[in-house]
Amino acid sequence: MTSITAARGTRCFVAAALLGVFASGAVAASSDYHGLPPPPVAARQGAKLTAVCSACHGATGVSVAPAYPNLAGQQYNYILKELEDFRSGKRTSPIMSGMAMTIPAAPGNRDLKDIAAYFSQQPLPDTVAAAPAPAAQLKLGRQIYTQGLQGRGVPACAACHGLGGGGNGPMAIPALALQHETYVLAQLELFASGARSNAPGHVMHSIAKHMNKTQQTAVAAYVRQLDPRTTLGIGPKTYSQYVRQQMAGPAPPTPPGTTHAPVSAAPAKRAAPGPAAAVSSTHIEAPTGRAQPGAADAATRRESGHD
């Protein structure tokens, strides 16, 4: 009962904190929403415009330098919003403010949309190179990310960014999974100080200013190793993975102590049934998909005098 009460209390705190953050009315979907991502042709066009971007962010949006964010798999609407903010001056950066101005102007910000489409459709990196974080630091980061800090008025990061760190496309909330720790920490510090203020309703300033350096660092370390492909349960993450899993048959039992089992890239081949399996089978599958009596059932009926 105590654990249930505590869990309810945590949920109520998160809900109340988020309502407090959004109470100003300045945060609305319409202020961030940029529509559905364009078709694949836009990404192909955007690839032609990313030569300058790749110098810092990598050709496929995977940055080598931890000070520059990974863009691969980032939410389309978030990339587009930030590019627009850099151009308008709503967000400033010694590097990006100038870089955004080098992107050719186009009707309806077509070029910005094509670039955002290209990077958002690139696959996530497998890992982010960095020294392993201490277990205690990851534990604190996970606690803040999934539960928040009740005593400091900090809601759970997962409430907006998702449990797997995938972000929220329609609201232009960024994905944080597999992002460089150095970059995330720098942005939390900028939000906390007010130097970065382009989050709708100043939501991130209201949150980051209540976190100390240790807590900010712990969250940054946690999201660096967070992978949505293995975080949310043990099942398939896409329809194609589901089909392959069904074709492969039942999965082997999970060894004790294993928290999740990644979906295999290629299904295991089913072994052809041997003679013993054919004889002991009690049903065969008819073309219509209905189960029909097999040889063993017929033999049983004859022996009992019912056939």
With cut-offs at 50, 70 and 90, classify the pLDDT of residue 173.
Answer: very high
Q: Collect all residues with Cβ–Cβ distance below 8 Å to 212 and sequence separation of at least 6.
A: none
- Residue predicted with more confidence, 286 or 210: 210
Could you say which of 1.10.630.10, 3.30.70.2740, 1.20.1340.10, 1.10.760.10 is the CATH number of the domain covering 131-230? Answer: 1.10.760.10
- Quick one: CATH architecture of 30-124? Orthogonal Bundle (1.10)
CATH 1.10.760.10 location in the chain:
30-124, 131-230
**pLDDT score, position 252:** 59
With cut-offs at 50, 70 and 90, classify the pLDDT of residue 236.
Answer: low
**pLDDT score, position 145:** 96
Is the pLDDT at 304 greater than 50? The verdict is no
Q: What is the pLDDT of residues 256-266, one digit of tens each?
A: 554 444 444 44
Q: What is the residue-averaged pLDDT of the chain? A: 77
Mean pLDDT of 7-24: 46
Tally Cβ neighbours within 10 Å of residue 244. 17
**pLDDT score, position 127:** 81
Mean pLDDT of 13-25: 43
Is the pLDDT at 290 greater than 60? The verdict is no
